[in-house]
């Protein structure tokens, strides 16, 4: 097993073979003004809270709402916590974002396995994200008109399947600010099936994906 990290257009150099990969947010410009909006989007993903109350005769009450992420006993907001950190240690945070060791101290945005790393990383993820940023693409047009839309709203309104590229675009992540960490291996089971966001029902792939989600707790991806 070998390890590789690629950034920006360099992701086209991803290996052809199978392996594990994880996308990270690595902004080119690391000032507070440049990263505040994206960081807030990434770290403020709203959890859905569902409640079901069952009564006699099959009567049920179902409620669904969105939660709000707060931190500590003072219930500090995510944007407030980010502002506090940048106010107190701006140079430290900028140097951390620029450091090659940054990935060891943060959650990945997305983690997955692939039979063909280059096809999955470059074609299905990176190129698709570039397309979604095109102002003439229907995703780009929709988000220009509905800047606060959630990933589910975009999927429903445009009849699209979930993908990392789509979720990254909704979160406002530029392709240039992504870095992928790759671990190549020849030990993945053949039963993981083909690399696809919509047609793969492989039990092996789903089992591995669930384990990696538990280990890494990525911001994006199927749950």
Residue 111 CB coordination number (10 Å): 23
Longest CA span, the chain: 63
Q: How does DSSP assign 95-127, residue by residue?
A: HHHHSTTGGGGS--SEEEEESSHHIIIIIIIII
Are 5 and 179 spatial neighbours (Cβ–Cβ below 8 Å)?
Answer: yes
**Using an 8 Å Cβ cutoff, are 93 and 86 in contact?**
yes
pLDDT, position 24: 94
Query: What is the crossing angle of helices 90-98 and 32-43, to 10°?
Result: 70
Low-confidence ranges of the chain (pLDDT < 50): none
Q: What is the pLDDT of residue 223?
A: 52
pLDDT of residue 198: 63
pLDDT of residue 99: 87
pLDDT digits (tens, 9 = 90+) for 116-174: 999 999 999 999 999 999 999 999 999 999 988 888 899 999 999 989 999 999 999 99
> What is the pTM (predicted TM-score) of this model?
0.84
pLDDT score recorded for residue 204? 85
Residue-wise DSSP of 40-51: HHHHTPPPEEEE
pLDDT at site 220 = 84
Tokens 């789903």, located at residue: 206
* pLDDT score of 147: 84
């Amino acid at each position: 097993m070998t390890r590789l990290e690629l950034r920006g257009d360099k992701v086209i150099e991803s290996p052809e073979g199978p392996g594990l990969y994880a996308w990270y947010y690595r902004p080119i410009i690391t000032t507070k003004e440049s990263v505040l909006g994206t960081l807030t989007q990434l770290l403020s993903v709203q959890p859905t809270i569902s409640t079901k109350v069952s009564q006699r005769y099959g009567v049920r009450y179902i409620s669904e709402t969105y939660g709000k992420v707060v931190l500590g006993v003072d219930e500090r907001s995510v944007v407030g916590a980010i502002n506090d950190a940048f106010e107190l240690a701006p140079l430290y945070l900028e140097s951390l974002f620029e450091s090659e060791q940054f990935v060891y101290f943060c959650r990945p945005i997305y983690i997955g396995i692939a039979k063909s790393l280059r096809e999955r990383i470059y074609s299905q993820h990176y190129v698709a994200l570039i397309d979604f940023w095109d102002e003439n693409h229907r995703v780009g047009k929709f988000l220009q008109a509905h800047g606060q839309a959630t990933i589910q709203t975009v999927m429903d309104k445009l009849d699209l399947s979930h993908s990392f590229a789509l979720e990254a675009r909704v979160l406002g992540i530029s392709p240039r600010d992504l870095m992928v960490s790759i671990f190549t291996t020849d030990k993945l089971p053949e039963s993981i099936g083909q690399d696809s966001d919509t047609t793969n029902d492989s039990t092996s792939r789903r089992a591995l994906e669930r384990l990696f989600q538990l280990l890494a707790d990525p911001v994006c991806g199927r749950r």
